[in-house]
Amino acid sequence: MLAKRIIACLDVKQGRTVKGIQFRDLVDMGDPVEQALYYAQQGIDELLFLDISATHEKRKTMAAMVNAVARNINIPFTVGGGISSVEDVSILLQNGADKVTVNTAAVNDPRLISDLAKQFGSQCIVLSVDTKTVEGEWLVYLNGGRQPTSLRTIDWVKQATSLGAGEILLTSIDHDGTRNGFAIEMTACIAELVNIPVIASGGAGNMQHFADVFREGKADAALAAGIFHERSLEINKLKAFLNSQSINIRP
């Protein structure tokens, strides 16, 4: 069994790391390059750099910042925000990204997933799914959680996997920033549905939440932002706790 991964998310807007609750009320959390270096030194397994307003503002992720972050770390690094073409991905990979994540553009044109997978390999393509419970159904949201759709999360994940997505970043908008725990039921459902890794995102508040999403939610990785940015949960202590729970975690 592959070791579970801990991922820190760097949500960036206008060149600064930010964090909000349910994708709103964003608060400045510092310089993303400094944050990235800190996490690499602390033993985080991976980083996600997400330009959260790129799609909404109809611009591209800032390649220069991606390059600056990549030059300061030696761990896997995923980049997303405003990606809509093979050329976009090529630029990001050339600037140091290990993987890219696509969301809105992939829903608008699912062929993008297969095009990217063929060009760069499925291992480079992470499908980001922002989802919210609406009348008992998990539905996909676009443009940084601003735009609701009628697309069922389960249907979209199945389709994207068949098109070549190599990993699923599953974010519960209902849980995001609440620190009340991950969306265990939904994460487990998606993890059992696909044969590719699932990253749980949204709701991390303490060490037990990570243990729960790995054990009960069947997640392959767990992502958090606020509790890491505030230094209220140290990476080494989290890993030691998970080890004590007999959860196979990367050293």
CA distances from 124 to 90, 189, 223, 230 (A): 11, 24, 18, 29
CA distances from 5 to 8, 28, 45, 222 (A): 10, 26, 6, 6
Q: Is 250 exposed, middle or buried (0-12, 13-18, 19+ CB in 10 A)?
A: middle
11 catalytic? Reply is yes
Q: Is 147 exposed, middle or buried (0-12, 13-18, 19+ CB in 10 A)?
A: middle
The one catalytic residue in 88, 130, 176, 212 is 130
Rounded Cα–Cα distance for residues 70 and 36 (Å): 8
Contact 141, 173 (CB under 8 A): yes
Rounded Cα–Cα distance for residues 39 and 241 (Å): 18
* DSSP SS3 for 82: coil
155 catalytic? Reply is no
Q: Nearest-5° angle of CA 246, CA 247, CA 250?
A: 125
Contact 149, 140 (CB under 8 A): yes
The one catalytic residue in 11, 45, 212, 220 is 11
Catalytic residue set: 11, 130
